[in-house]
Amino acid sequence: MSINNLDIKDLLKKFTPTQKRPFLIWRVIYMATIGVLVAGAIFTFSFIYQNIFTTLNNAYSIIILSSELGMDTVDVPAFEKMEKIIKSKGGHVAIPNNLRNIFDYNIIITSTATNLDKQ
């Protein structure tokens, strides 16, 4: 039984990946590193593409809105309130002819004599 057991252990040692291929762990690390780098590059390009697309879309919206093709929003309740106030004021008020002209005034000069000479 011990001979049989040793044969199995020896057999298992021969077929373990590190015994058969001594650089297998380095190949796995290399593949994992390359995979992480490729995934990072894909994520970076996707992020840049989405942000550039969003920026261009926002710029297009700004151009469209600045050309005044869109409708302006109207506050309907405030508009109706102001319309009622204007209608309640009635027509125009006539300006009387005998108004005081505020730009026509009499010039009054007042002066006091001062003596600057000291005695």
- Domain with 42 in it: 23-89
Flag whether 35 is in a domain. yes
Position 52 pLDDT exceeds 80? yes
Flag whether 56 is in a domain. yes
Flag whether 60 is in a domain. yes
Residue 56 or 19, more confident: 56
Flag whether 15 is in a domain. no
Flag whether 9 is in a domain. no
- How far apart (Å, rounded) are the C-alpha atoms in residues 58 and 41? 26
Flag whether 57 is in a domain. yes
Domain count along the chain: 1
Position 78 pLDDT exceeds 50? yes
Flag whether 108 is in a domain. no
* Mean pLDDT along residues 80-93: 84
Concatenating the DSSP letter of every residue in 6-66 gives: HHHHHHHHHHSHHHH-TTHHHHHHHHHHHHHHHHHHHHHHHHHHHHHHHHHHHHHHHHHHH
Flag whether 37 is in a domain. yes
- How far apart (Å, rounded) are the C-alpha atoms in residues 39 and 46? 10
Given this model, what pLDDT does residue 96 score? Answer: 80
